[in-house]
Amino acid sequence: MSRIILHVDLNKFFVRCEEIKNPYIIGKPVVVGGDGRKGIVSTCSYEARKYGIHSGMPTFQAKMLCKDLIIIGGDYNYYELMSKEFINYVKKRVDKIEQISIDECYCDITETYRCLKNKDIIAFLHDFQTGLYEQTKLNCSIGVAATKFLAKMGSDYKKPNGITIIRKKDIPNIIFPLKIGSYYGIGKKTAPKLEQLGYETIGELYYGLKNNDEKLQNFFGVMREEIIDQLEGRSSDDVSSDYDTAKSIGNTRTLEHDSDEKDYIRRFYLKLVNNVIGEFLKEDLLTKTIQITYKSAEHEDFGFKSKTISKSFDTYTKDRNFIEKEALKLFDKTYNGQKIRLIGFTLKNLVDKHDVTVQMTFEDYQMHEQENKTQLLINELNREYNKNLFMRLSDLKEKKNEN
């Protein structure tokens, strides 16, 4: 039996969060983003989109397109809380969830739906949407399919508040007529190149690949088979849930706007690091490896290029300050000034703290014992003189460095 995969996508998430706080702006042209010389539109209301405004557009251009435009700087702490409410709601209703950004996730509802004893899936999904709105006031569009790719294409097909089921037999009627730029994974720079080659729709692209068109062979190379699999409904249906296992704890977040400003990215990353560490500290776990992920804002021929770098420690740890310090050192060492759209941080090689035993060699033990004897002697001398006159040389150097 095929899996039943959902892609749940919150509609105009940042704007909707602002509407919940301030109902006055409902139905008005609104953008969330910066309002300076370098300001960028992070997201916008459907009313603003009617003027040609879109995410990633410089704010000054958006203001030229709509004189009554409402610009909101954005409350990203609030958005993070609303995202958690969204995910908590979904976790209670599905078997598996894979969060892929602040406002979207994949779900595997195969077992959930089987337990409903053939209940109409449309009714189930309407209940899902209604429950989400009643609990959080957020709206979502849902794609349903046997693969993650088709589910994602489905959630984009009808917005806002759409529900689209795409079975294998539906692909020619639903997916093939779409413009090439609608293909999930084909970037804004790649779509025009394909159009210049004569491929304006996804269906034309599919048949060109199936017929071994030499131009497409040269263009996609080894990606050819993956695209064909996606468009024939044979791609991944694996919803990888961080809640299934404690092998890693991490998160990735899309920046408020594509950026190569190191200070801004570093602040954004530090907040992400602290959120991940906060989740980690709730568990009786130790970690030995940290990992940072970058996703470039520059489009490759197919999708965005990602880079992942890891660093392992000599021993397991649960020290917040140490982990944060090492995470920032890893960022400073690996960020190369490239414009990025997403950054992630993960703690890996997790073990239960009760399973970790510190194994001292005889040499370590002797050193440890000698240090204790030295400290006991220092304490005794300080008590005798009733002053902190004595300390180890290493402690003196450390104190000097702190000052």
The type of residue at 326 is: E
Active-site hit among 19, 47, 98, 104: 104
CA–CA–CA angle 290, 353, 292 (5° rounding): 10
Contact at 8 Å (CB) between 220 and 231? no
Beta-ladder partners of 96: 108
Tokens (6 digits) for 386: 């009733």
- CA-nearest of 11, 234, 9 to 143 is 9
State how far the Cα of 179 lies from the Cα of 20, in Å rounded to an integer.
34
104 is catalytic: yes
Sign of CA dihedral 278, 306, 202, 240: negative
DSSP 8-state secondary structure symbol assigned to residue 341: E
State how far the Cα of 137 lies from the Cα of 347, in Å rounded to an integer.
33
Kindly write down the DSSP assignment for every residue of 134-187, as one continuous string: HHH---EEEEEESSHHHHHHHHHHSTTT-EEEE-GGGHHHHTTTSBGGGSTT--
State how far the Cα of 214 lies from the Cα of 191, in Å rounded to an integer.
18
The residues carrying an active-site annotation are 104
